[in-house]
Structure formats: structure tokens, C-alpha cells
Amino acid sequence: MIVFDLCCDAGHRFEGWFGSSDDYAGQRRRGLVACPQCGSAAVDKAPMAPAVPKKGNQRSEARQALAGGVMPPEAAAMLHKLAELQSEALKSSTWVGEAFAEQSRAIHYGEREPEAIHGQASAHDARELIEEGITIAPILFPVAAPDELN
Ligand SMILES: [Zn+2]
């Protein structure tokens, strides 16, 4: 026995049990398959739920949600460009490590030759520097200290 989900021309859905697929086809041809609700013999196999693409297809929505975690190529290219710009900029900049806050102040107050420096600063140091009117910018991408490069 096999069971088919059937649907009449009035949209009633019901199950029909048949000996085989051929059995179903034969009975249907002879008008023996009728809707139990309205008696209509205009019966066909009901579309199976998974095969029916619904509006706002849930599976494609799931795919879109997943794709939301992936960076669009333009954004990835832009980040790549920024990373390149950063490493270009840092080539002419001196790594001062943990002395960054101290060195930044020395440059700001004219106590040493101005030059581009980069190094480490705590959030607290960074806030103090900014409050003192010293222009600092966060490094967007992780930079290894030169003595960590080997
Ligand atoms: Zn019906």
C-alpha cells in the first residue's frame, strides 16, 4: 500500500490509500477517487510541501542570513587596501612600543624631533593623550613589534 496526499479541485486535501501508483492512476481515470468532503472526482496528487517553493522561500532566507556573515567583495577589497595603506604608513614610522604615550607627549611638547611613531598605549593612556590635544589614531590592524617579527 502507498499513500498519496490528494487534493480536489475545491482545494480539500485528503489522504488516499492505493495498492500501487498504477492502482491510483487507474482508479482516478475511472473517477473512483473522490474527495471525501465534496465528492468531487477532479482529484490530483496534492503538491508535497517540500517541493513547493513558497513565497519568501524559507531556505533561501536561511541562505541569505548565512551570507550576512560574509563580507561583500567590495568591503573585503577596501579592508585589504586599508591594511596596505597602514603598512605603507608604518614603514616611515618608528616603533616605540610601550613608550608610545611618553614619546607622543615629547613630540607634542617639542621635547624631541617630530617623527611618525607607533606603539602601544592603554585605553587610559590614549584617552589622556587625546585630552591633552595630542592627535593619535588607532592602528586598525594588528602590528607585531619589530622584536617579535623573528
Ligand atoms: Zn473536495
- Estimate the share of the chain in helix, then strand, then coil, as percent rounded to the nearest 5: 40, 15, 45
Q: What does the pLDDT read at residue 56?
A: 53
User: What is the mean predicted confidence (pLDDT) over 3-11?
Assistant: 91
Q: How far apart are CA 89 and CA 61, in angstroms?
A: 42
Residues 6 or more apart from 41 whose CB is under 8 A from it? 28, 31, 32, 33, 34, 35
- Is the Cβ–Cβ distance between 86 and 140 less than 8 Å? yes
Residue 45 Cα to ligand 1 midpoint, Å, equals 13
Question: Over the stretch 51-76, which tens digit does the pLDDT of each residue have?
Answer: 445 555 455 544 444 444 566 778 88
Question: Over the stretch 35-51, which tens digit does the pLDDT of each residue have?
Answer: 999 999 999 998 765 54
Residue 66 Cα to ligand 1 midpoint, Å, equals 41
Q: What is the mean pLDDT of the chain?
A: 81
Q: What does the pLDDT read at residue 149?
A: 53
Residues 6 or more apart from 130 whose CB is under 8 A from it? 136
Whether the CA torsion 110, 115, 116, 120 is positive or negative: it is negative
Q: What does the pLDDT read at residue 65?
A: 43
Sheet with strand 43-45: strands edge to edge: 13-18, 2-8, 43-45
Residue 82 Cα to ligand 1 midpoint, Å, equals 65
Residue 15 Cα to ligand 1 midpoint, Å, equals 12
